[in-house]
Each structure stands twice: as structure tokens, then as C-alpha cells.
Amino acid sequence: MKTHLINWMGYQCLLLISLGIGFAMPGYTQTSHSSHGSMGGVSKQKVSCESSGLDCANAVNPFFSQDGKLHLVWSANGSISYAQSIDLGKSWSTSIEIANHGKALDTGSDARPQIAVNKDGQIIIAYSFFKDKNWNAQVNYVISKDGGNSFTTPKSIVKDQSSQRFPSLLIEPDGTLFISWIDKRLVQAAKDKGNKPLGASLAFATSTDFGGSFTTEKIANDAMCECCRIGAALNTTNEPTLIYRAIFDGGVRDHASQVFKKSEFGKIERVANDGWKTDACPHHGPAIAISSLNTSHVAWFTQGSIRSGLFYARSENGNSRFSDPAQIGSQNANVSRPYLLANGKNIWLTWKEFEGKQTLIWMQQSINDGATWTLPRIISKTSNYSDHPLLIKNNQQIFLSWLTRDDGYQLIPIGGLP
């Protein structure tokens, strides 16, 4: 990866110079914990768009069900809405508004509604909203048992009265649901005793009846960042594997990974020692994908004292040791929002780069489980607001799922297998 990185950066320099684009990129800023503002949309601009429709969405999450339907959930102007498509996004069903929380809806940069669909076509959607003025949030979920024609009344996934945000949802092949989130019950308990701990905790629960009931929630790590989404994937034995921004000794917010086996959590493994000591909100979560050889591929953002920018690493031994971090994108560019997808031994990596006027989506591919990578290429761009670039698979076709204010929701084919 390092050898390739040199070629990659040289390629980017030549390309940007040929386009007349310099490297005077705006700096990446942090927000305080109290503001809970958005920092991830480096190209984000305030525009007037007032409906709850997909045309005004700020965060969109897709899911392909086994029958090839594309299910979409999004947040727009305080609402959570759902629609589906049977022709790869060329047309959509009439959208359904799941919930409307107005300004209380959690719309931070990493606060994305989650969706999963089981083999029977039942749909579950999870999201969070602020229930008071102190930024205490609640994770709600709804279920559709009629293929998305109607949804249940939203209800909380936990009974705890503290704060929960940033749900991450996985569905296992047997239909078991695994949901994790950022939980502040331990922080609240410490505050009640006059202490002031940093961050929050990583909590999780499972359901074997598709949301009819959930197991009692457990805390898997009592020290994680309170503002960054959780990256989640299933390994080759269908065990949920998470990557998240943990808090290590001294208030260092570097990334950790854990594997969950039969509702029990595994050892906390440090992905890399970046040395990012901060008490601010990065609002910039990591990504993970796991290949058919059970290799974990991870990507993350850091501004540590040891390294700064976007980075990639892989683990071939159950996440107990990761490779040396390899930098993604130009060191001088404003890079953000990495995302990974694995299909067999094929790995796709995408990310954003803001070059001063436009946001570019770059992509790189490996056909040998991350041993070597193609040169990166630009696969899309916009000059207005854009959502995170996501990767999604339908059968053997790989798509970029991307929402921009100028072009709307796009499902862009980027590769596949014969």
C-alpha cells in the first residue's frame, strides 16, 4: 500500500495540476461537544429546501433486499421518510413519512437513519432525536410487516432515560438483528456523583424476532467518543464486527475494533496509535468491510500528533493486529468520509476530497484482498451540498450511493464481477 501510495499521490498531483486546481484547501475544523454542530460536510452550503421529500434530504441510507428492491430511508427538514424502487432508483414508490421531530431530529454529520430488510420483506428503521434541550437523545425504531406499505408507531429501543445516539444496524443471514449505539448512562451516573467523565459508552442489543423484542442492552466499551458513527460489518462466521472512535488513556480518541460472538463482546483491539488527544467532537466516524477470507478492511479520519488525515489498514487475524496505516488521498487536500465494501476478495474504497470549489468522489479497488490497489480515479463530483458517499452491492454489481443537492439521489454503477 505504501508503494502504491507514492504513485497515487503523484497521480493526484498531476491530475489536479492538469485541471488547474491548486492545493489551497480549507482546513478541517472541530466543533465543541456542546454545539453538536455539523463539520463533516466540507462542501455543505446552506440552501433553501423545505420539503420532507428526497429532493431535500440531507442524509440517505440504502438497502438492497434479496428480491432486488432498493429500499431508501432519509432525513429531511426534521422528518424521517422511506420509499422503495424496483428499477434501481429510476422510479420510486410514494414516500412514507415515518416520523417528524422537527428541529429535535438528530441531523449531525454522522447521524444517519438506519435500515435493514429481512428475507420476508419486513423492514426495520432506526434513528435518533433529541428529547430535551441538553442534547439528550433517544434511539427509536419502526417496523413494516407489509413490505413498506405501513410502519408501526416509533418506540424507543431501550428503557434507560439517559441519552442514546448514532444507532448502527446489522442483519445476520438467519434474520437476527444486531444494533449498537452510543450510550451515556454511565456518563450520567458519573455526573450524578459529581464526576465528569469524557465521552460515552458503546452499547448493543440483539433481536431474534425482528424487533418484536430486544435483549437487555449491554455496554461493550465504557469509553468511546460521543459524536462519531459506528462502522459495522459481519465477518465470515456472521459475527458483528465494529470499528469506532474509542477514548484511550489521556483522552486520546483513536479507533478500536471489537468482535461480538453470540451476544457477548470480544476484546477491545486498538486499530492504530494516532495520538489524537482532543476533547472536541470530530463527527467523523470510520468504515469497515470484511472479505470472504475474513480480512477486516478499515478506514478512518484522524488529526493526531502521530498522523493526520484519512487512513486505511487491514487485519488478517480477527482484528487482533492491524497493518501499518496507509494514507488515503493527498496530504494537502481536505479529505473526508471514507467508505469500504467487500465482495469476495474484491475491495472498494471511496472517499471525498474538497478542492476549493468542488467535492470530488474518489475510488480505489483491490482484487486481492487489499494486497495491492489500483490507482484512484474520480467517479463523481458536485459543487453544492452532498451527503456521505456510500457503497452498496446488488448481486454482483457495485454502486456508489450518493445524494447531492444539485443532482438528487444517485445510484451510480462503479464495478462488479463477471
Is-contact 354 43, C-beta < 8 A? yes
* From 170-174, 312-316, 323-327, 332-336, the region with the lowest mean pLDDT: 332-336
CA distance 246 to 175: 29
**pLDDT one-digit tens code per residue, 227-255:** 999 999 999 999 999 999 999 999 999 99
Return the residue matching grid coordinates 487475524.
317
Q: Which pLDDT score is estimated for 371?
A: 96
- Work out the average pLDDT over 177-186: 97
Nearest to 289 by CA among 346, 367, 224: 346
Is-contact 200 181, C-beta < 8 A? no
Position 417 confidence tier, pLDDT thresholds 50, 70, 90: low
User: What is the reported pTM?
Assistant: 0.88
- Work out the average pLDDT over 213-229: 95
3-class DSSP state for residue 322? coil
Q: Which pLDDT score is estimated for 47?
A: 54
3-class DSSP state for residue 70? strand
The answer on pLDDT for 58 being more than 50 is yes
CA distance 223 to 221: 6
Helix (H) or strand (E) holding 88: none
Nearest to 268 by CA among 320, 331, 345: 320
Highest mean pLDDT out of 145-149, 159-163, 196-200: 145-149
Q: Grid coordinates standing for 109?
A: 454529520
CA distance 17 to 13: 6
- Work out the average pLDDT over 165-179: 97
* Ramachandran angles phi, psi of 312, nearest 5°: -130, 145
CA distance 296 to 147: 33
Position 16 confidence tier, pLDDT thresholds 50, 70, 90: very low
DSSP character for 332? T
Q: Which pLDDT score is estimated for 33?
A: 42
- Work out the average pLDDT over 278-293: 94
DSSP letters, 355-378, are: -SS-EEEEEEEESSTTSS-PPPEE
What residues pair up with 392 in beta bridges, in sequence order?
399
Q: Which pLDDT score is estimated for 4?
A: 35
**pLDDT one-digit tens code per residue, 256-268:** 999 999 889 999 9
- Work out the average pLDDT over 122-147: 96
The answer on pLDDT for 354 being more than 60 is yes
CA distance 276 to 226: 15
CA distance 178 to 205: 6
* Ramachandran angles phi, psi of 315, nearest 5°: -135, 130
The answer on pLDDT for 372 being more than 60 is yes
Position 48 confidence tier, pLDDT thresholds 50, 70, 90: confident
CA distance 221 to 128: 20
3-class DSSP state for residue 244? strand
Could you tell me the end-to-end alpha-carbon distance of the chain, in angstroms, rounded to an integer? 26
The answer on pLDDT for 19 being more than 80 is no
**What count of other Cβ atoms lies within 10 Å of the Cβ of residue 323?**
17
Q: Which pLDDT score is estimated for 10?
A: 33
CA distance 302 to 311: 8
* From 44-58, 102-116, 189-203, the region with the lowest mean pLDDT: 44-58
Helix, strand, coil percent values for the chain (each to nearest 5): 5, 45, 50
The answer on pLDDT for 28 being more than 60 is no
The answer on pLDDT for 59 being more than 50 is yes
Return the residue matching grid coordinates 426534521.
78
The answer on pLDDT for 295 being more than 50 is yes
Q: Which pLDDT score is estimated for 332?
A: 80
Each as own residue / partner, the long-range contacts of residues 361-364 (CB below 8 Å, 24 or more positions apart, any chain) are 361/389, 361/400, 361/402, 362/329, 363/400, 363/414, 364/8
Average pLDDT over the chain, rounded to whole?
88
The answer on pLDDT for 94 being more than 90 is yes
CA distance 72 to 369: 29
CA distance 360 to 279: 30
- Work out the average pLDDT over 372-397: 96
Q: Which pLDDT score is estimated for 144?
A: 98
What sign results for the dihedral spanned by CA atoms 307, 310, 313, 318? positive
Higher pLDDT pick, 202 / 36:
202
